[in-house]
């Protein structure tokens, strides 16, 4: 009897115990919400250089990064978007005074604080990158890679990272540094040798586009900015008129401050020859012009001489820059059309700002001799090259408009105001 009871107990217990075993399950994260701008923007990746990265006033930090047009555009898309947040002062910290070269937090041009850890950035743009550095961090003949190359890309390339992220949408603003490096050369502004040859540019640019196509992502290509109209360099004729006077409008009248520095001269070879000749077709970088004024103010005779090639952008060099920009953009636009990509032309907006003098023909140097910053208007920051937060909003609107037109999306324009953006 006891044995039977025992057997019964065991037989009952067995299935009960077996039933105690319950598999646990995967816990996949909820599917990411479809961005408000549409599924097209589920994984948005931006490639580019300093402008896309958010460089302002010769520096970059989290504050400037979050004001990049790419970040603003991602907000318009409603897309999840991560940038490689630079902690602390930045890498390098932006200018707080471009005359004294003082930077945020007492940093210098070689200061580089750390970046946030364990983030996989969507914004892959690296300041200084030319089209060749999109493909390789070891561009030839001289690489423009820098400290930010590792901080942003972690040893990979922009192209490699873009591919890894399996984007659904890519923005590419590539090519600015393929001409800008020539304009901003400290040894020969406008040096034609520093303009990427067209054949090389197109081949490398097409390699980038092939890689984007291979991901299946849609894309917007942004035109190379016309570096000849940015306030970094001004017409030599303006320097001539400000110093010597006697120029007809719209050229400016004589500036008493400059005229009052006897050791500062602007040679007659910089004088305007209407309608577009002479000093009207020669550019003087503000860094060079201001350095001469400062030296003269200290009693050292200094002259802007438009025949000195390594101090000005000569007429031929200016034509070379404009030609390169035009050729690059013609190729970019043609490829966009061929490949079904959107094309955003920022130069129309840039030209409009020049026309209405929002981009000043000549920087405000009124305080420079007493140590206050040279100013370049509301759309450019203290280096005269990089757009301000306000300009980034305009760029975002321009790019969003091109995307809407090409892909039938309804990204809000203006972007800021419709979505929340950091204050300019």
**Which residues are at the interface with other proteins (CB under 8 A)?**
3, 6-7, 10, 13-14, 17-18, 20-29, 84, 87, 110-118, 120, 137-138, 143-156
Contact at 8 Å (CB) between 403 and 220?
yes
Residue number with CB closer to other proteins (38 or 121): 121
DSSP letters for 124-174: ---TT--HHHHH-SS-SSS----HHHHHHHTTS-HHHHHHHT--SEEEEE-
Among 226, 387, 358, 365, CA closest to 288: 365
Minimum CB distance to other proteins, residue 5 (Å): 11
| Helix (H/G/I), strand (E/B), else coil: 49 | coil
Minimum CB distance to other proteins, residue 362 (Å): 33
The partner residues of 265 in beta bridges, in order of sequence, read 303
Minimum CB distance to other proteins, residue 48 (Å): 17
Residue number with CB closer to other proteins (52 or 373): 52
Residue number with CB closer to other proteins (139 or 272): 139
Minimum CB distance to other proteins, residue 239 (Å): 34
Distance (Å, whole) CA 410 – CA 38: 9
Distance (Å, whole) CA 362 – CA 289: 11
Residue number with CB closer to other proteins (23 or 262): 23
Residue number with CB closer to other proteins (65 or 409): 65
Residue number with CB closer to other proteins (115 or 406): 115
Minimum CB distance to other proteins, residue 20 (Å): 7
Minimum CB distance to other proteins, residue 111 (Å): 7
Distance (Å, whole) CA 103 – CA 60: 11
Q: What CA–CA distances, in Å, run from 302 to 261, 282, 333, 364?
A: 10, 18, 44, 20
Residue with tokens 């990049």: 68
């Amino acid at each position: 009897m006891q044995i039977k009871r025992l057997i019964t107990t065991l037989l009952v217990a067995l299935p009960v115990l077996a039933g105690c075993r319950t598999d646990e399950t995967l816990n996949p994260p909820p599917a990411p919400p479809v961005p408000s701008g549409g599924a097209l923007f589920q994984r948005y990746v931006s490639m580019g250089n300093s402008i896309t990265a958010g460089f302002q006033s010769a520096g970059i930090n989290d504050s400037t990064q979050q004001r990049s047009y790419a970040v603003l555009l991602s907000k318009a898309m409603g897309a999840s978007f991560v940038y490689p947040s630079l902690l602390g002062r930045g890498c390098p910290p932006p200018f707080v005074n471009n005359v004294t070269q003082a930077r945020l937090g007492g940093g210098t041009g070689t200061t580089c604080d750390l970046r946030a850890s364990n983030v996989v950035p969507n914004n892959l743009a690296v300041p200084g990158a030319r089209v060749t550095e999109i493909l390789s961090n070891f561009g030839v003949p001289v690489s423009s890679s820098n400290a930010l190359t590792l901080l942003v890309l972690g040893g990979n390339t922009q192209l490699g990272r873009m591919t890894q992220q399996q984007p659904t949408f890519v923005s590419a603003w590539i090519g600015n540094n393929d001409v800008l490096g020539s304009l901003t050369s400290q040894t020969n502004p406008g040096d034609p040798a520093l303009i990427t040859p067209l054949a090389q540019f197109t081949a490398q640019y097409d390699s980038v586009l092939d890689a984007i196509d291979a991901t299946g992502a849609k894309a917007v290509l942004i035109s190379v900015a016309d570096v000849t109209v940015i306030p970094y360099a001004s017409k030599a004729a303006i320097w001539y008129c400000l110093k010597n006077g006697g120029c007809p409008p719209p050229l400016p009248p004589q500036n008493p401050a400059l005229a009052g520095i006897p050791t500062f001269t602007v040679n007659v070879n910089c004088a305007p020859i209407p309608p577009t000749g002479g000093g009207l077709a020669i550019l003087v970088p503000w860094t060079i012009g201001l350095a001469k004024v400062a030296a003269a103010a200290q009693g050292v005779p200094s002259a802007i001489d438009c025949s000195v090639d390594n101090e000005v952008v000569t007429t031929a060099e200016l034509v070379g820059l404009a030609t390169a920009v035009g050729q690059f953009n013609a190729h970019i636009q043609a490829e966009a059309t061929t490949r079904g990509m959107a094309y955003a032309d920022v130069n129309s907006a840039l030209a409009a700002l020049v026309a209405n003098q929002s981009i000043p023909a000549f920087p405000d140097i009124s305080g420079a001799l007493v140590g206050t910053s040279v100013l370049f208007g509301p759309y450019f920051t203290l280096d005269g090259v990089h757009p301000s937060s306000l300009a980034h909003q305009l760029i975002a609107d321009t790019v969003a408009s091109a995307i809407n037109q090409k892909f039938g999306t309804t990204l809000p324009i203006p972007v800021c105001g419709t979505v929340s953006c950091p204050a300019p």
